[in-house]
Amino acid sequence: MKIGFLGLGRMGSAMAQRLLAATTDLIVYNRSTQASAALVAQGARAVARPGAMADRELVFTMLADDQALRDVVLASGALLESLPEGAVHVSCSTISMALAAELAERHAAAGQHFVSLPVFGRPDAAAAGKLFLVAGGAEEIVERLRPVFLRMGQDLWWVSPQPELANLVKLSGNFLIATTIESMGEAMALVEKGGVDRHAYLDFLTRSLFTAPVHRNYGKLIADRAVRPAGFAAPLGQKDLRLVGEAAEKLAVPMPFFGPLRERFLALAARGEKDVDWAALGVEAARGAGLHSTNDDV
């Protein structure tokens, strides 16, 4: 299958690497050409513009936000205008429901197919092919491409023929992760200030009540206060939370935890901490308790 991959950040590069290991015909594009070098060295072919996909049957995009995806897909001479009839665009980005619905409509009008395939997992999981994949779009297209998708992930859930509902599931999941980070940070700050070693507390939690990877992985980052380098940068989490708020408002769903999380992200942004992992949400609780200075090197 002739595959294209657009967007080679840490996640996109790892996912493209998984695809390249299983195909000899992969075209890649990234705004910064340096990101393409490692894949080109292993046999991929880099192109200079996102519209150079006229012979591709399947194209993945993994971009940071709505605007980046619009620029790559909907701009003049970009992906939408170059894809052949019958080709499939698979968006793995965490984007708004509105953009996913618009992309589905625009691709259908061009005789193409669109699938939302947002992913759960950090760059190390992507490199190991251990992502969890949520798909929205025509079920027959998703099932036909399932073997390709599972080169990048360990499991796949099809949720709806409406692509935007896969994005809703992704946003809801990221909201849950953010609330977990916040609550773990608050609990850890409480016991630490009372005199309990926070690493010992984490060991107890993750071997008894809260054994899921999200508790183990983010709990360790919070306990270690190791939020640089960022596996998932706080500004991306802030963007995702904003999209959660938009969805909640549209669907008239009260989400009382939204406000405190928003304030946490704003505090990080106000200090210019754009390079920290969103595990820094949990460290904010320690700062508020006087256990961790904003001047400390984390």
Count CA atoms closer than 13 A to 46's CA, side-chain side: 18
Instruction: Report the C-alpha gap between 56 and 83 in whole angstroms.
Output: 7
Q: Which residue shows structure tokens 């999200």?
A: 214
| Known catalytic membership, residue 170 | yes
Instruction: Report the C-alpha gap between 69 and 99 in whole angstroms.
Output: 9
Instruction: Report the C-alpha gap between 276 and 200 in whole angstroms.
Output: 24
Q: What is the DSSP letter of 196?
A: -
Count CA atoms closer than 13 A to 253's CA, side-chain side: 12
Q: What is the CA radius of gyration of the chain?
A: 20
Instruction: DSSP for 9-42, please give it.
Output: SHHHHHHHHHHHTT-S-EEEE-SSGGGGHHHHHT
Which of 2, 130, 170, 193 is flagged as catalytic?
A: 170
Token pair of 54 as six digits: 């006229």
Instruction: Report the C-alpha gap between 79 and 51 in whole angstroms.
Output: 5
Q: Helix 163-194 and helix 213-224: axis angle, to 10°?
A: 50
Q: Helix (H, G, I), strand (E, B), or coil: what is residue 228? A: coil
Instruction: Report the C-alpha gap between 67 and 76 in whole angstroms.
Output: 14
Q: Which residues are catalytic?
A: 170
